[in-house]
Chains A and B, each alone.
Chain A
């Protein structure tokens, strides 16, 4: 059989998304004839595709972003900003109390799905606090937006070609390429995603916009993306808005909403997304973005409402299903949650987390026969230590409910073996030890939990209570105060607090 034409083969590889083979073939083609523009372009696209990420999902908040004053208002009205300190969240907010539904580090109720930005530690913390707290393997954040993920991508591109990078970015004649419509867009994406040279990409986009006299929405949106990546939000916003005027696009609306989130104006972000919905009424991405923002604002009702809308449009949306399921679980409707989790399993999403959740739902729905099976399945599916830790912690929880103290202790210990930073496990372990009258050990466990998870009120309350019982009123008072700082309306903490105050005032 005769060899097929290498160029055709390369295109075929590219079409079948076999980018590595495609790069190999095009590289040989380019060795033969360095001026082969088709091969060059194809190689460039193949390299880009390897590292292509959906920008609408990226833009993690970096640690260093808390150094900036991007937000306009420092103390906005409640419910209009993402930067609410934990203390205020539960006053006048709809949704379950932190006692019922655990919170994330930002003081927001835990969501049904782990995603970027759901773990940020912006709210009400000083720089030092944020640096110190819990930057464990599971919660590590990039230092800045521009570093982090993007640098990793950049280095990856360098490794893929041992004899130096594919393009010498510094040597490119950007104005010339900007003229060439066939190449410029691919080149831009290559610079942006593969070479990770945002500045060069920005220059190219600027030149291209000159060529098109600011009439091409795509280039305007790309210019906005460059500014976005450089954290120049206002410039970015301007470009996105112009781009939308020329050609409304779902992506651009999503980018714009992200910009407003970074400027801490979530309501404006929602407004923009709704504008987008008028143009694209059946676009689940836009509704999903709205749902996420409502979730961030602790407005669970609205959030779930929007997730339901997403499901009506796209009944395989994992995030929506998971969030609704989690919400039902925390609203004490585990049976309904089970239905949603079953749906997830039917769709083939069989992760350990889902099995764990199903087990918990079963427990609360009193279908005890399923629990062990589910936990076993979950342990079987678990791939990382973190997941195992969570599973063992939950099994321990079950053991506590069934008053099997020894099993519980063993489970919590196992959880700690897998993840040494598991604050909840430390907390429960501490409680168990206190119950067994091992006061000192228990208190140490609780203190560990406090230092690991400053966003949880439980270790403080437990510690305070134990100290109160032991008669160390000063320590108790301090701990109870911290607990109340985190969760203002915690009735038990309040009770002890009032008692203590009465006692102190009598002195």
Chain B
């Protein structure tokens, strides 16, 4: 079990998810974290720095002068034999060697840094500082070269390095704001898992297992791409950490919650084995030998700067019996509760039986099955049909789930569970009493194309029933459910297309269509070549899929993302390892070109504004000195004049700053768009061609060559 060993107060605020620990002189662990005023605090239990010792509570500060968005510690340079501190802000990355007071590098990083991790990635020889930003991931080595670069679908929110497939090399697990967990083997995407919210934290456990936490309060464990267990809480999990609590040699999952709770769950079932509470929200949990070298402690740090350390210790027999007794008591209480519930259920059933017996006694003519209020006919069935509905006058485009009972029973309530489809967990439809019928239509609007399993619970009974029978149904919702098959109309074909060759026969492609689209009946045309048109009911655009006998497939749509999804889905269905495609998206590429030009403009403007600001701030400084000089010699009127000047100039400066902020925001937006385009372009290809395409795009962006970029997006390589 864990026993508390120390507790202290840092007297500074600590920003969540920025707490880390490192041995900056190679021996002594220091706690670091971001704090108010764009600073990073460093706390060490026994300070070797004499100067810092005089400071309050052994805390020294680093001036970052920019909002710290992420922080990491690790041995970036193996030769140094000590940890480096890597600080990420919205515009740059600093790798700092604290022992020598030297920057290893300072790098501009316009994509921002939302998450940082340091370690070995794949078979790359060097250790990397891996930085996740706006839709992009950079791997910097100690010479500040970004040796690896790749894109993800959305802003990166968490990163972890672990051996995902057990091949002895680390893979990068990336959680992003589009609710996806992606696994990268170097720059190759090897697995993708859908979640229901932004992944705020990922923590490697033993083997291929890792814990994850979502912004909606879900915490769980994956083993490779299978979810072991998950739980959900009203509070939000802030950080995860692995720590061996029970001494069995296997790390358990430690979770820090937004309400200050820290709990430790078994990695197998997710039951709580240890609980502790801090006075305010948890900001970070780290594992380090903080007090005694070699003895790992679990250190929890709260937002308000409260720090508590715990260590593992063998339980003494008294405590063991005490906890055993407590466990037994709890088990008895659980069983008692279960018994109570069963008793209540039995009572209900008894009531119902008595009731039906009464009615039988009253009129013997009626058929038993019909008169029963609790029982519904044995042969009752629920028919469900999924149909695609276009936008009507008052209802938006949706997928209609139509349910009907096979006899005169009615459907009282429908509850649909589906992962990530609804806000919250499920959708419950319960019509008003006078609208209750034997059929019901539930509209579903998936926000994006993804295959989901619908778990439907239908409450069936009679109009006057108080007890209902529950039917549980499962219906798969295919990936491209929001598309409706329509008549071919050659004159309305979209301009954008992507085309490629497959070594497959048409029936296989047909099978894919039938499997992935929501069709009323199986689509089996007789024509020698395939030509089918779908209407995307979200925005009324067309998606056309053509296939020739020689295996050439053309997908026509103006939506590059959709085309990418189609290709990825096809690739998965038909087991395609590598696929090269060519395509053209005149509309999107036009926007891209414009964005490219705009980015350049914004960057130039930014440069100008910042040099203006620098000059202004220089003048302000001299005003301040002069004013202070005047104050010291008692020349109040001169001082006043100087301060008034300073005030005016300061106003200008703030104004300039605001302009710069908006400029920066716009720039970020554009850069994100650019990264997303690269991601989409990569998605149009499969396997190694995807990697090649992304790297080529990267090279084009680096060279600032819009034409090259567009060509790469079109052809996949140059």
Contact = CB atoms under 8 A, between A and B. Distances in A.
Interface of A: 62-65, 67-78, 80-81, 84-85, 88, 91, 127-128, 131-132, 143-147, 198-199, 202-203, 206, 226-227, 230-232, 234-235, 237-238, 263-268, 271
Interface string B39-76: 00000000011111001000011111100000000000
A88 B48 CA distance: 14
B702 interface: no
Nearest to B106: A234
B101 A147 contact: no
Interface in B83-100: 92, 94, 96, 98-100
Interface string B613-635: 01101110110111011001000
Given A73-B101, A74-B61, A75-B49, A232 B621 contact: no
B106 A237 contact: yes
Given A75-B51, A199-B615, A238-B108, 5 more contacts: A62-B621, A72-B94, A227-B614, A232-B611, A268-B100
A199 B102 contact: no
B65 A69 contact: yes
A131 B60 contact: no
10 contacts: A64-B624, A72-B101, A75-B55, A76-B101, A88-B50, A199-B615, A203-B608, A206-B607, A231-B618, A265-B102
Contacts of A128: 628, 632
A74 B101 contact: no
Given A72-B62, A74-B62, A267 B102 contact: yes
B63 A147 contact: no
B610 interface: yes
Contacts of A263: 103
Given A67-B624, A75-B60, A80 B101 contact: yes
Contacts of B629: 131
A128 B627 CA distance: 12
A146 B618 contact: yes
Contact of A271 (B48, B102, B617, B621): B102
Interface of B: 48-52, 55, 60-65, 92, 94, 96, 98-103, 106, 108, 604, 607-608, 610-612, 614-615, 617-619, 621-622, 624-626, 628-629, 632
A78 B625 contact: no
A69 B63 contact: yes
Given A78-B50, A91-B50, A234-B106, A73 B624 contact: no
B92 A144 contact: no
A73 B622 contact: no
Contacts of B625: 63-64, 131, 143-144
B610 A232 contact: yes
Contacts of B632: 128, 131-132
Contacts of B55: 75
A500 to B, nearest CB: 23
Contacts of B608: 203
B611 A230 contact: yes
B310 to A, nearest CB: 29
Contacts of B96: 72-73
Contact of A72 (B99, B103, B614): B103
Contacts of B100: 77, 80, 267-268
A127 B632 CA distance: 12
A128 B629 CA distance: 9
A81 B50 CA distance: 14
A124 B607 CA distance: 34
B621 A144 contact: yes
Contact of A77 (B94, B99, B615, B628): B99
Contacts of A230: 611, 614-615, 618
Nearest to B608: A203
A271 B105 CA distance: 13
A227 to B, nearest CB: 8
A202 B611 contact: yes
Given A72-B101, A77-B101, A237-B106, A64 B614 contact: no
B637 to A, nearest CB: 19
B52 A231 contact: no
Nearest to A263: B103
A74 B63 contact: yes
Contacts of A266: 101
Contacts of B106: 234, 237
B36 to A, nearest CB: 14
Contact of A268 (B65, B103, B611): B103
Contacts of A234: 92, 106
Contacts of A68: 621
A234 to B, nearest CB: 6
A75 B626 contact: no
Contacts of B52: 75
B610 A88 contact: no
B102 A268 contact: yes
B600 to A, nearest CB: 10
Contacts of B619: 146
A199 B103 CA distance: 28
Contacts of A65: 621
Given A72-B63, A199-B612, A64 B621 contact: yes
B628 A127 contact: yes
Contacts of B628: 127-128, 131
